[in-house]
Structure 1
Amino acid sequence: MSSDTRPANDRTRPSPPSEGMAGLAKGLAVIEAFGAERTQMTVTEAARAVSLSPAAARRCLLTLTELGYLVQEDRYFRPTPRMMRLGEAYLEGATLPTLARPFVEAGRDELGESMSLAVYDEGTALFVARAEVHRIVSTGVRLGARLPAYASATGRVLLAGLPEEERERYLRTCEPRRTTPHSVTTIPEIRDRIEAAAAEGFAVTDEELELGMRSMAVPVVDSAGRVHAAMSTSVFVARVTMEEMRRRYLPVLRAQASALGRLL
Protein backbone atom coordinates (compact mmCIF):
# COMPACT_ATOMS: atom_id res chain seq x y z
CA MET A 1 0.00 0.00 0.00
CA SER A 2 1.38 3.42 -0.97
CA SER A 3 2.32 5.79 1.85
CA ASP A 4 1.59 8.81 -0.36
CA THR A 5 -1.31 10.62 1.29
CA ARG A 6 -1.79 13.30 -1.36
CA PRO A 7 -5.10 13.35 -3.25
CA ALA A 8 -5.04 11.20 -6.38
CA ASN A 9 -5.35 14.18 -8.69
CA ASP A 10 -2.21 15.74 -7.11
CA ARG A 11 0.08 12.72 -7.46
CA THR A 12 0.54 13.14 -11.20
CA ARG A 13 1.50 16.79 -11.01
CA PRO A 14 5.19 17.47 -11.52
CA SER A 15 7.15 19.06 -8.71
CA PRO A 16 7.15 22.84 -9.00
CA PRO A 17 10.23 24.23 -10.73
CA SER A 18 12.86 25.95 -8.64
CA GLU A 19 12.33 29.68 -8.36
CA GLY A 20 16.09 30.27 -8.34
CA MET A 21 17.79 32.05 -11.24
CA ALA A 22 20.68 29.95 -12.50
CA GLY A 23 22.12 32.80 -14.55
CA LEU A 24 22.16 35.13 -11.56
CA ALA A 25 23.85 32.47 -9.44
CA LYS A 26 26.56 32.02 -12.08
CA GLY A 27 27.10 35.76 -12.35
CA LEU A 28 27.45 36.15 -8.59
CA ALA A 29 29.94 33.26 -8.52
CA VAL A 30 32.05 35.06 -11.13
CA ILE A 31 31.89 38.30 -9.12
CA GLU A 32 33.06 36.48 -5.97
CA ALA A 33 35.97 34.95 -7.88
CA PHE A 34 37.65 38.36 -8.15
CA GLY A 35 39.84 39.35 -5.22
CA ALA A 36 43.25 40.51 -4.09
CA GLU A 37 44.94 37.48 -5.65
CA ARG A 38 42.77 37.50 -8.78
CA THR A 39 42.29 41.10 -9.90
CA GLN A 40 41.61 40.24 -13.54
CA MET A 41 40.52 37.12 -15.41
CA THR A 42 40.22 35.75 -18.92
CA VAL A 43 37.22 33.70 -19.95
CA THR A 44 39.22 30.51 -19.40
CA GLU A 45 40.37 31.58 -15.94
CA ALA A 46 36.85 32.56 -14.90
CA ALA A 47 35.47 29.23 -16.13
CA ARG A 48 38.08 27.35 -14.13
CA ALA A 49 37.61 29.51 -11.00
CA VAL A 50 33.86 28.86 -10.71
CA SER A 51 33.55 25.49 -12.49
CA LEU A 52 31.59 26.78 -15.49
CA SER A 53 31.87 25.98 -19.15
CA PRO A 54 33.85 28.59 -21.12
CA ALA A 55 30.67 29.56 -22.96
CA ALA A 56 28.76 30.16 -19.71
CA ALA A 57 31.67 32.07 -18.18
CA ARG A 58 31.92 34.24 -21.29
CA ARG A 59 28.21 35.10 -21.12
CA CYS A 60 28.55 36.06 -17.45
CA LEU A 61 31.60 38.23 -18.06
CA LEU A 62 30.04 40.01 -21.04
CA THR A 63 26.78 40.62 -19.16
CA LEU A 64 28.65 42.06 -16.18
CA THR A 65 30.62 44.25 -18.59
CA GLU A 66 27.42 45.52 -20.23
CA LEU A 67 26.04 46.37 -16.76
CA GLY A 68 29.17 48.33 -15.87
CA TYR A 69 30.54 46.00 -13.19
CA LEU A 70 33.52 44.89 -15.31
CA VAL A 71 35.68 46.43 -17.99
CA GLN A 72 37.34 44.39 -20.76
CA GLU A 73 40.88 45.02 -21.95
CA ASP A 74 42.02 42.59 -24.64
CA ARG A 75 41.41 39.12 -23.15
CA TYR A 76 41.10 40.31 -19.56
CA PHE A 77 38.10 41.43 -17.52
CA ARG A 78 38.59 43.64 -14.44
CA PRO A 79 36.13 45.00 -11.85
CA THR A 80 35.09 48.65 -12.03
CA PRO A 81 34.27 50.94 -9.07
CA ARG A 82 30.59 50.11 -9.67
CA MET A 83 31.33 46.72 -8.05
CA MET A 84 31.65 48.53 -4.72
CA ARG A 85 27.90 49.19 -4.73
CA LEU A 86 27.27 45.51 -4.05
CA GLY A 87 29.26 45.66 -0.82
CA GLU A 88 27.79 49.01 0.18
CA ALA A 89 24.33 47.45 0.21
CA TYR A 90 25.46 45.31 3.15
CA LEU A 91 27.72 47.81 4.86
CA GLU A 92 25.11 50.58 4.81
CA GLY A 93 22.00 48.52 5.37
CA ALA A 94 22.96 45.64 7.63
CA THR A 95 22.22 45.97 11.31
CA LEU A 96 25.58 44.85 12.71
CA PRO A 97 27.88 47.30 10.86
CA THR A 98 25.45 50.12 11.57
CA LEU A 99 25.19 49.28 15.26
CA ALA A 100 28.96 48.81 15.54
CA ARG A 101 29.95 52.18 14.16
CA PRO A 102 29.68 54.27 17.38
CA PHE A 103 31.51 51.61 19.39
CA VAL A 104 34.51 51.25 17.08
CA GLU A 105 34.63 55.05 16.90
CA ALA A 106 34.57 55.32 20.70
CA GLY A 107 37.39 52.77 20.98
CA ARG A 108 39.41 54.63 18.37
CA ASP A 109 38.97 57.93 20.18
CA GLU A 110 39.98 56.45 23.55
CA LEU A 111 43.04 54.56 22.32
CA GLY A 112 44.11 56.72 19.41
CA GLU A 113 44.26 53.58 17.23
CA SER A 114 42.13 52.35 14.35
CA MET A 115 39.43 49.88 15.42
CA SER A 116 37.68 47.23 13.35
CA LEU A 117 34.81 44.78 13.47
CA ALA A 118 34.87 41.49 11.56
CA VAL A 119 32.55 38.52 11.04
CA TYR A 120 33.36 34.93 10.13
CA ASP A 121 32.85 34.13 6.45
CA GLU A 122 34.00 30.93 4.75
CA GLY A 123 37.24 30.50 6.65
CA THR A 124 38.12 34.19 6.80
CA ALA A 125 37.64 37.18 9.05
CA LEU A 126 35.68 39.66 6.92
CA PHE A 127 35.93 43.31 8.06
CA VAL A 128 32.52 45.01 8.02
CA ALA A 129 33.05 48.13 10.17
CA ARG A 130 36.08 50.31 10.84
CA ALA A 131 37.04 53.60 12.47
CA GLU A 132 40.33 54.95 11.15
CA VAL A 133 43.09 56.95 12.73
CA HIS A 134 44.83 58.73 9.87
CA ARG A 135 48.58 58.32 9.87
CA ILE A 136 51.23 58.55 7.17
CA VAL A 137 51.70 54.79 7.37
CA SER A 138 48.49 52.76 7.54
CA THR A 139 48.04 49.40 9.24
CA GLY A 140 46.51 48.20 5.95
CA VAL A 141 43.14 46.78 7.08
CA ARG A 142 40.14 48.17 5.18
CA LEU A 143 36.42 47.58 4.90
CA GLY A 144 35.75 44.41 2.96
CA ALA A 145 39.24 43.04 3.60
CA ARG A 146 39.65 39.42 4.58
CA LEU A 147 42.26 37.75 6.74
CA PRO A 148 42.76 33.99 7.08
CA ALA A 149 40.97 32.89 10.22
CA TYR A 150 43.74 30.56 11.40
CA ALA A 151 46.42 33.25 11.25
CA SER A 152 44.75 36.38 12.65
CA ALA A 153 43.74 37.39 16.16
CA THR A 154 40.30 38.32 14.82
CA GLY A 155 39.91 34.99 13.07
CA ARG A 156 40.93 32.96 16.09
CA VAL A 157 38.35 34.74 18.24
CA LEU A 158 35.70 33.99 15.62
CA LEU A 159 36.78 30.36 15.31
CA ALA A 160 36.61 30.03 19.10
CA GLY A 161 32.97 31.04 18.90
CA LEU A 162 32.00 28.39 16.35
CA PRO A 163 30.44 25.05 17.28
CA GLU A 164 33.22 22.52 17.85
CA GLU A 165 32.22 20.37 14.88
CA GLU A 166 32.31 23.32 12.49
CA ARG A 167 35.62 24.50 13.89
CA GLU A 168 37.22 21.07 13.51
CA ARG A 169 35.88 20.79 9.96
CA TYR A 170 37.60 24.06 9.17
CA LEU A 171 40.88 22.91 10.73
CA ARG A 172 40.79 19.69 8.69
CA THR A 173 40.62 21.62 5.44
CA CYS A 174 42.70 24.75 6.06
CA GLU A 175 46.20 24.93 4.60
CA PRO A 176 48.32 27.28 6.73
CA ARG A 177 50.93 29.41 4.96
CA ARG A 178 53.98 31.06 6.48
CA THR A 179 54.08 34.81 5.85
CA THR A 180 56.70 35.77 8.46
CA PRO A 181 59.26 33.87 10.54
CA HIS A 182 56.77 34.08 13.45
CA SER A 183 53.81 32.51 11.62
CA VAL A 184 52.09 29.55 13.27
CA THR A 185 51.63 26.89 10.62
CA THR A 186 50.80 23.57 12.31
CA ILE A 187 47.23 22.54 13.06
CA PRO A 188 47.95 21.56 16.71
CA GLU A 189 49.49 24.99 17.37
CA ILE A 190 46.60 26.77 15.67
CA ARG A 191 44.09 24.72 17.68
CA ASP A 192 45.95 25.69 20.86
CA ARG A 193 45.68 29.38 19.96
CA ILE A 194 41.96 29.06 19.27
CA GLU A 195 41.37 27.22 22.56
CA ALA A 196 43.35 29.91 24.38
CA ALA A 197 41.16 32.58 22.76
CA ALA A 198 38.07 30.74 23.98
CA ALA A 199 39.43 30.36 27.52
CA GLU A 200 40.86 33.88 27.92
CA GLY A 201 38.26 35.82 25.95
CA PHE A 202 40.76 37.49 23.61
CA ALA A 203 43.48 36.68 21.08
CA VAL A 204 46.72 38.35 20.04
CA THR A 205 49.18 37.97 17.21
CA ASP A 206 52.72 39.29 17.35
CA GLU A 207 54.24 39.74 13.88
CA GLU A 208 52.61 36.49 12.73
CA LEU A 209 50.87 37.92 9.67
CA GLU A 210 53.10 40.89 8.94
CA LEU A 211 56.44 41.93 10.36
CA GLY A 212 56.20 45.00 12.54
CA MET A 213 52.50 44.55 13.39
CA ARG A 214 50.70 43.36 16.53
CA SER A 215 46.96 42.72 16.78
CA MET A 216 44.44 42.08 19.53
CA ALA A 217 40.81 40.96 19.21
CA VAL A 218 37.89 40.21 21.52
CA PRO A 219 34.53 38.58 20.79
CA VAL A 220 31.24 40.45 20.49
CA VAL A 221 28.82 38.22 22.41
CA ASP A 222 25.03 38.59 22.72
CA SER A 223 22.93 37.94 25.83
CA ALA A 224 22.53 34.27 24.82
CA GLY A 225 26.29 33.75 24.68
CA ARG A 226 26.57 33.64 20.87
CA VAL A 227 29.63 35.18 19.23
CA HIS A 228 28.47 37.52 16.47
CA ALA A 229 31.73 39.23 15.55
CA ALA A 230 35.20 40.19 16.74
CA MET A 231 36.39 43.70 17.59
CA SER A 232 40.08 44.35 17.07
CA THR A 233 42.91 46.80 16.76
CA SER A 234 46.37 46.57 15.18
CA VAL A 235 49.46 48.51 16.21
CA PHE A 236 53.04 48.94 15.12
CA VAL A 237 55.54 46.98 17.19
CA ALA A 238 57.78 50.04 17.49
CA ARG A 239 54.97 52.08 19.08
CA VAL A 240 53.14 49.72 21.46
CA THR A 241 54.42 46.80 23.52
CA MET A 242 52.45 43.62 24.06
CA GLU A 243 52.35 44.41 27.77
CA GLU A 244 50.70 47.77 27.06
CA MET A 245 48.18 46.12 24.75
CA ARG A 246 47.11 43.76 27.54
CA ARG A 247 47.10 46.48 30.20
CA ARG A 248 45.52 49.41 28.36
CA TYR A 249 44.01 48.19 25.08
CA LEU A 250 42.28 45.02 26.26
CA PRO A 251 39.92 46.75 28.74
CA VAL A 252 38.83 49.24 26.08
CA LEU A 253 38.19 46.53 23.50
CA ARG A 254 36.22 44.49 26.01
CA ALA A 255 34.15 47.46 27.13
CA GLN A 256 33.16 48.47 23.60
CA ALA A 257 32.52 44.87 22.47
CA SER A 258 30.37 44.25 25.54
CA ALA A 259 28.35 47.41 24.93
CA LEU A 260 27.74 46.36 21.32
CA GLY A 261 26.84 42.83 22.38
CA ARG A 262 24.09 44.15 24.66
CA LEU A 263 22.32 45.52 21.58
CA LEU A 264 22.31 42.20 19.70
Structure 2
Amino acid sequence: MTSVKLPVNGDDGAPASLADSEFTAEEASEPRAREGMGGLAKGLAIIEAFSATTVRMTVAEAARLADVTRPAARRCLLTLVDLGYLAHDGKFFTPLPRMLRLGGAYLSTSSLAQIAQPLLAAARDELQESVSLAVLDEGHSVFVGRAEALRIVSTGAKLGGRLPAYCSATGRVLLSQKSEGEIARHISAVPLRKLTPRTISAPDEVIAAIHRVQTDGYAISDEELELGMRAMAVPVKNRMGGIEAAVSVSVSSARVSVDAMRRDFLPVLQQVAARLERAL
Protein backbone atom coordinates (compact mmCIF):
# COMPACT_ATOMS: atom_id res chain seq x y z
CA MET A 1 0.00 0.00 0.00
CA THR A 2 1.53 3.30 -1.13
CA SER A 3 1.48 6.32 1.21
CA VAL A 4 1.51 9.89 -0.01
CA LYS A 5 2.15 13.04 2.01
CA LEU A 6 -0.65 15.54 1.54
CA PRO A 7 -1.24 18.93 3.12
CA VAL A 8 -4.41 19.04 5.23
CA ASN A 9 -6.56 21.15 2.95
CA GLY A 10 -10.27 21.83 2.66
CA ASP A 11 -11.98 20.20 -0.29
CA ASP A 12 -12.11 23.59 -2.01
CA GLY A 13 -8.32 23.86 -1.77
CA ALA A 14 -8.24 26.25 1.19
CA PRO A 15 -5.34 25.41 3.52
CA ALA A 16 -5.95 24.05 7.01
CA SER A 17 -2.76 25.22 8.63
CA LEU A 18 -2.79 23.21 11.87
CA ALA A 19 -1.06 20.10 10.62
CA ASP A 20 -0.09 17.83 7.79
CA SER A 21 -1.17 14.22 7.82
CA GLU A 22 -0.20 10.91 6.25
CA PHE A 23 -2.92 9.44 4.03
CA THR A 24 -2.82 6.35 1.86
CA ALA A 25 -3.22 6.77 -1.87
CA GLU A 26 -6.57 4.99 -1.62
CA GLU A 27 -7.80 7.44 1.04
CA ALA A 28 -6.54 10.38 -0.96
CA SER A 29 -8.45 9.43 -4.10
CA GLU A 30 -12.03 10.11 -2.91
CA PRO A 31 -14.83 10.12 -5.51
CA ARG A 32 -16.44 13.45 -6.31
CA ALA A 33 -19.95 14.19 -7.53
CA ARG A 34 -20.29 15.68 -10.99
CA GLU A 35 -22.47 18.53 -9.74
CA GLY A 36 -22.22 20.49 -6.52
CA MET A 37 -19.43 20.77 -3.97
CA GLY A 38 -18.79 17.49 -2.22
CA GLY A 39 -16.50 19.12 0.32
CA LEU A 40 -19.16 21.63 1.33
CA ALA A 41 -21.70 18.82 1.78
CA LYS A 42 -19.28 16.93 4.03
CA GLY A 43 -18.52 20.02 6.09
CA LEU A 44 -22.21 20.75 6.61
CA ALA A 45 -22.86 17.13 7.60
CA ILE A 46 -20.17 17.45 10.27
CA ILE A 47 -21.59 20.75 11.51
CA GLU A 48 -25.04 19.17 11.80
CA ALA A 49 -23.57 16.28 13.81
CA PHE A 50 -22.98 18.62 16.75
CA SER A 51 -25.97 18.63 19.11
CA ALA A 52 -27.00 18.99 22.74
CA THR A 53 -25.79 15.43 23.32
CA THR A 54 -22.71 15.70 21.07
CA VAL A 55 -20.96 18.87 22.18
CA ARG A 56 -17.47 17.77 21.13
CA MET A 57 -16.09 15.24 18.66
CA THR A 58 -12.90 13.52 17.64
CA VAL A 59 -12.04 12.99 13.98
CA ALA A 60 -13.24 9.39 14.21
CA GLU A 61 -16.56 10.39 15.78
CA ALA A 62 -17.14 13.10 13.19
CA ALA A 63 -16.45 10.65 10.38
CA ARG A 64 -18.91 8.14 11.82
CA LEU A 65 -21.70 10.63 12.56
CA ALA A 66 -21.38 12.44 9.22
CA ASP A 67 -20.81 9.21 7.26
CA VAL A 68 -17.60 10.40 5.62
CA THR A 69 -14.05 9.06 5.57
CA ARG A 70 -11.66 10.00 8.34
CA PRO A 71 -9.37 12.02 6.02
CA ALA A 72 -12.39 14.01 4.77
CA ALA A 73 -13.61 14.56 8.33
CA ARG A 74 -10.16 15.75 9.41
CA ARG A 75 -9.87 18.22 6.52
CA CYS A 76 -13.35 19.62 7.20
CA LEU A 77 -12.75 19.94 10.93
CA LEU A 78 -9.40 21.67 10.54
CA THR A 79 -10.84 24.06 7.95
CA LEU A 80 -13.65 24.94 10.39
CA VAL A 81 -11.00 25.55 13.06
CA ASP A 82 -9.08 27.90 10.75
CA LEU A 83 -12.30 29.76 9.94
CA GLY A 84 -13.15 30.23 13.62
CA TYR A 85 -16.17 27.94 13.82
CA LEU A 86 -14.52 25.25 15.97
CA ALA A 87 -11.89 25.00 18.69
CA HIS A 88 -9.39 22.12 18.81
CA ASP A 89 -7.51 20.97 21.90
CA GLY A 90 -5.40 18.37 20.10
CA LYS A 91 -8.06 15.68 20.30
CA PHE A 92 -11.57 17.13 20.55
CA PHE A 93 -13.29 19.69 18.33
CA THR A 94 -15.93 21.95 19.94
CA PRO A 95 -18.15 24.70 18.44
CA LEU A 96 -17.30 28.37 18.95
CA PRO A 97 -19.78 31.31 19.03
CA ARG A 98 -19.16 32.01 15.34
CA MET A 99 -21.23 28.88 14.63
CA LEU A 100 -24.32 30.93 15.58
CA ARG A 101 -23.95 32.87 12.35
CA LEU A 102 -25.06 29.84 10.36
CA GLY A 103 -28.44 29.63 12.06
CA GLY A 104 -28.71 33.39 12.30
CA ALA A 105 -29.05 33.70 8.54
CA TYR A 106 -32.35 31.79 8.68
CA LEU A 107 -33.64 33.44 11.83
CA SER A 108 -32.92 36.97 10.58
CA THR A 109 -34.75 36.40 7.27
CA SER A 110 -37.61 34.12 8.37
CA SER A 111 -40.79 36.19 8.63
CA LEU A 112 -42.37 33.44 10.73
CA ALA A 113 -39.61 33.57 13.36
CA GLN A 114 -39.60 37.38 13.39
CA ILE A 115 -43.38 37.63 13.77
CA ALA A 116 -43.46 34.94 16.43
CA GLN A 117 -40.82 36.34 18.78
CA PRO A 118 -42.90 39.06 20.51
CA LEU A 119 -45.86 36.67 20.76
CA LEU A 120 -43.66 34.01 22.36
CA ALA A 121 -42.31 36.59 24.82
CA ALA A 122 -45.84 37.70 25.77
CA ALA A 123 -46.89 34.08 26.34
CA ARG A 124 -43.74 33.47 28.38
CA ASP A 125 -44.57 36.46 30.60
CA GLU A 126 -48.15 35.27 31.09
CA LEU A 127 -47.30 31.64 31.84
CA GLN A 128 -43.93 32.23 33.51
CA GLU A 129 -42.62 29.28 31.50
CA SER A 130 -40.41 28.95 28.40
CA VAL A 131 -42.36 29.12 25.12
CA SER A 132 -40.98 28.02 21.74
CA LEU A 133 -41.70 27.84 18.02
CA ALA A 134 -40.55 24.77 16.07
CA VAL A 135 -40.54 23.50 12.49
CA LEU A 136 -39.94 20.02 11.08
CA ASP A 137 -36.57 19.15 9.55
CA GLU A 138 -35.69 15.59 8.50
CA GLY A 139 -37.41 13.80 11.35
CA HIS A 140 -36.49 16.37 13.98
CA SER A 141 -38.32 19.22 15.59
CA VAL A 142 -36.08 22.31 15.28
CA PHE A 143 -36.60 25.38 17.47
CA VAL A 144 -36.57 28.57 15.40
CA GLY A 145 -38.09 30.83 18.07
CA ARG A 146 -37.67 30.79 21.85
CA ALA A 147 -38.63 32.96 24.82
CA GLU A 148 -36.82 31.68 27.91
CA ALA A 149 -38.27 31.82 31.40
CA LEU A 150 -35.95 32.63 34.28
CA ARG A 151 -36.17 29.03 35.44
CA ILE A 152 -34.81 26.86 32.63
CA VAL A 153 -36.30 23.38 32.58
CA SER A 154 -34.41 21.55 29.85
CA THR A 155 -31.15 21.97 27.98
CA GLY A 156 -32.61 20.35 24.85
CA ALA A 157 -35.18 23.01 23.98
CA LYS A 158 -32.85 25.83 22.94
CA LEU A 159 -32.94 28.14 19.94
CA GLY A 160 -31.64 26.00 17.10
CA GLY A 161 -31.99 22.84 19.19
CA ARG A 162 -33.22 19.62 17.60
CA LEU A 163 -35.47 17.05 19.25
CA PRO A 164 -36.57 13.70 17.84
CA ALA A 165 -40.03 14.18 16.35
CA TYR A 166 -41.48 10.83 17.42
CA CYS A 167 -41.34 11.57 21.17
CA SER A 168 -41.52 15.38 21.38
CA ALA A 169 -44.77 17.33 21.61
CA THR A 170 -43.77 19.68 18.79
CA GLY A 171 -42.63 16.77 16.62
CA ARG A 172 -45.91 14.90 16.98
CA VAL A 173 -47.84 18.04 16.07
CA LEU A 174 -45.67 18.59 12.99
CA LEU A 175 -45.96 14.93 11.92
CA SER A 176 -49.73 14.86 12.41
CA GLN A 177 -50.40 16.46 9.02
CA LYS A 178 -48.54 13.71 7.18
CA SER A 179 -50.34 10.92 5.34
CA GLU A 180 -50.55 7.43 6.81
CA GLY A 181 -47.81 6.27 4.45
CA GLU A 182 -45.51 9.19 5.28
CA ILE A 183 -45.93 8.65 9.01
CA ALA A 184 -45.26 4.93 8.65
CA ARG A 185 -42.12 5.61 6.57
CA HIS A 186 -40.86 8.09 9.14
CA ILE A 187 -41.43 5.69 12.02
CA SER A 188 -39.62 2.89 10.19
CA ALA A 189 -36.70 5.13 9.21
CA VAL A 190 -35.72 6.48 12.63
CA PRO A 191 -34.50 4.58 15.71
CA LEU A 192 -37.33 4.69 18.28
CA ARG A 193 -35.15 4.77 21.38
CA LYS A 194 -36.48 4.94 24.93
CA LEU A 195 -34.81 8.14 26.12
CA THR A 196 -36.49 7.72 29.52
CA PRO A 197 -38.60 4.91 31.04
CA ARG A 198 -41.67 6.94 30.01
CA THR A 199 -40.75 7.33 26.33
CA ILE A 200 -43.36 5.89 23.97
CA SER A 201 -41.26 3.86 21.55
CA ALA A 202 -43.48 1.04 20.22
CA PRO A 203 -44.30 1.94 16.58
CA ASP A 204 -48.07 1.44 16.96
CA GLU A 205 -48.14 3.60 20.10
CA VAL A 206 -46.09 6.35 18.47
CA ILE A 207 -48.43 6.42 15.48
CA ALA A 208 -51.45 6.51 17.82
CA ALA A 209 -49.94 9.46 19.71
CA ILE A 210 -49.44 11.32 16.42
CA HIS A 211 -53.02 10.58 15.33
CA ARG A 212 -54.40 11.91 18.63
CA VAL A 213 -53.18 15.37 17.66
CA GLN A 214 -55.72 15.39 14.83
CA THR A 215 -58.62 14.92 17.28
CA ASP A 216 -57.27 16.71 20.38
CA GLY A 217 -55.69 19.67 18.59
CA TYR A 218 -52.55 19.46 20.75
CA ALA A 219 -49.83 17.06 21.86
CA ILE A 220 -48.24 16.38 25.24
CA SER A 221 -44.88 14.71 25.84
CA ASP A 222 -44.88 13.69 29.48
CA GLU A 223 -41.30 13.04 30.67
CA GLU A 224 -40.53 11.20 27.42
CA LEU A 225 -37.52 13.30 26.51
CA GLU A 226 -36.24 14.02 29.99
CA LEU A 227 -37.43 12.92 33.42
CA GLY A 228 -38.96 15.82 35.31
CA MET A 229 -39.93 17.71 32.14
CA ARG A 230 -43.19 17.75 30.21
CA ALA A 231 -44.20 19.80 27.18
CA MET A 232 -47.37 20.75 25.32
CA ALA A 233 -47.58 21.90 21.70
CA VAL A 234 -50.27 23.16 19.31
CA PRO A 235 -50.17 23.57 15.51
CA VAL A 236 -49.72 26.80 13.58
CA LYS A 237 -51.52 26.44 10.24
CA ASN A 238 -51.01 28.31 6.98
CA ARG A 239 -53.77 29.67 4.73
CA MET A 240 -54.02 26.31 2.96
CA GLY A 241 -54.67 24.48 6.23
CA GLY A 242 -51.27 22.82 6.37
CA ILE A 243 -49.23 22.86 9.57
CA GLU A 244 -46.45 25.42 9.23
CA ALA A 245 -45.01 25.19 12.74
CA ALA A 246 -45.77 24.26 16.34
CA VAL A 247 -45.91 26.46 19.43
CA SER A 248 -44.95 24.77 22.68
CA VAL A 249 -44.41 25.31 26.38
CA SER A 250 -42.01 23.32 28.59
CA VAL A 251 -42.58 22.90 32.32
CA SER A 252 -41.29 21.03 35.33
CA SER A 253 -43.51 18.04 36.03
CA ALA A 254 -43.07 18.70 39.76
CA ARG A 255 -44.68 22.14 39.43
CA VAL A 256 -47.30 21.77 36.70
CA SER A 257 -49.63 18.80 36.20
CA VAL A 258 -50.97 17.64 32.85
CA ASP A 259 -54.47 18.75 33.88
CA ALA A 260 -53.15 22.22 34.73
CA MET A 261 -51.47 22.41 31.32
CA ARG A 262 -54.74 21.61 29.60
CA ARG A 263 -56.70 24.06 31.73
CA ASP A 264 -54.31 27.02 31.99
CA PHE A 265 -51.69 26.67 29.26
CA LEU A 266 -53.58 25.33 26.27
CA PRO A 267 -55.74 28.46 25.74
CA VAL A 268 -52.64 30.68 25.77
CA LEU A 269 -50.83 28.52 23.21
CA GLN A 270 -53.91 28.41 21.01
CA GLN A 271 -54.13 32.20 21.14
CA VAL A 272 -50.50 32.55 20.06
CA ALA A 273 -51.06 30.08 17.22
CA ALA A 274 -54.20 31.91 16.07
CA ARG A 275 -52.36 35.26 15.96
CA LEU A 276 -49.51 33.71 14.01
CA GLU A 277 -51.94 32.13 11.55
CA ARG A 278 -53.54 35.52 10.85
CA ALA A 279 -50.08 36.90 10.06
CA LEU A 280 -49.08 34.13 7.64
Identify the TM-score tier after normalising by the shorter chain.
Answer: 0.7 to 0.9
Report 1:149-188 matches (<5 A): 149-188=165-204
Residues 207 and 60 of structure 1, relative CA distance in 2, 3 Å threshold: closer
Cα deviation, 1:133-166, whole Å, max 9, x if unaligned, reads 212x534321111211111111111110223332
Aligned-residue offset at 1:36: 2.8
For 1:110 and 1:37, locate their aligned partners in 2 and report how far apart those are by CA, in whole Å. 31
Q: Does 1:118 align with 2:128?
A: no
For 1:206 and 1:78, locate their aligned partners in 2 and report how far apart those are by CA, in whole Å. 32
Q: Does 1:235 align with 2:226?
A: no
Aligned to 1:56: 72
Give the count of matched residue pairs. Answer: 247
Match of residue 236, structure 2, among 204, 207, 220:
220
Aligned-residue offset at 1:127: 0.8
- What amino acid does structure 2 have at the position aligned with 1:138? V
When normalised by structure 1's length, the TM-score is 0.86
Contact 1:157 1:218 in 2 (8 A): yes
What is the SS of the residue equivalent to 1:224? coil
Aligned-residue offset at 1:60: 1.4
For 1:56 and 1:246, locate their aligned partners in 2 and report how far apart those are by CA, in whole Å. 50
Aligned to 1:133: 149
Deviates most, 175-184 or 77-86: 175-184
For 2:201 and 2:274, locate their aligned partners in 1 and report how far apart those are by CA, in whole Å. 31
Contact 1:218 1:254 in 2 (8 A): yes
Aligned-residue offset at 1:43: 2.7
For 1:231 and 1:76, locate their aligned partners in 2 and report how far apart those are by CA, in whole Å. 36
Aligned to 1:201: 217
For 1:123 and 1:184, locate their aligned partners in 2 and report how far apart those are by CA, in whole Å. 16
What do you get for the CA RMSD once the two structures are aligned? 1.9
Residues 255 and 20 of structure 1, relative CA distance in 2, 3 Å threshold: same
Q: Does 1:191 align with 2:207?
A: yes
Can you give the 5+ residue segments of structure 2 that lack an aligned partner in the other structure? Answer: 1-32
Residues 86 and 174 of structure 1, relative CA distance in 2, 3 Å threshold: same
Aligned to 1:254: 270
Aligned-residue offset at 1:18: 5.9
Aligned-residue offset at 1:120: 0.8
Contact 2:183 2:207 in 1 (8 A): no
Structure with the bigger percentage of strand: 2
What is the SS of the residue equivalent to 1:106? helix
Aligned to 1:11: none
Residues 234 and 46 of structure 1, relative CA distance in 2, 3 Å threshold: closer
Aligned to 1:13: none
Aligned-residue offset at 1:106: 2.1
Residues 214 and 60 of structure 1, relative CA distance in 2, 3 Å threshold: closer
Contact 2:153 2:251 in 1 (8 A): no
Contact 1:222 1:263 in 2 (8 A): no
Aligned to 1:5: none
Aligned-residue offset at 1:236: 1.7
Cα deviation, 1:55-104, whole Å, max 9, x if unaligned, reads 32222122111111122222332222211111122222222211111221
When normalised by structure 2's length, the TM-score is 0.81
What is the SS of the residue equivalent to 1:134? coil
- What amino acid does structure 2 have at the position aligned with 1:152? S
Residues 202 and 26 of structure 1, relative CA distance in 2, 3 Å threshold: same
Deviates most, 224-233 or 27-36: 27-36
Contact 1:103 1:257 in 2 (8 A): no
Report 1:2-13 matches (<5 A): none
Residues 215 and 173 of structure 1, relative CA distance in 2, 3 Å threshold: same
- Percent identity, aligned pairs only, is 52
For 2:124 and 2:94, locate their aligned partners in 1 and report how far apart those are by CA, in whole Å. 35
Q: Does 1:96 align with 2:131?
A: no
For 2:45 and 2:198, locate their aligned partners in 1 and report how far apart those are by CA, in whole Å. 35
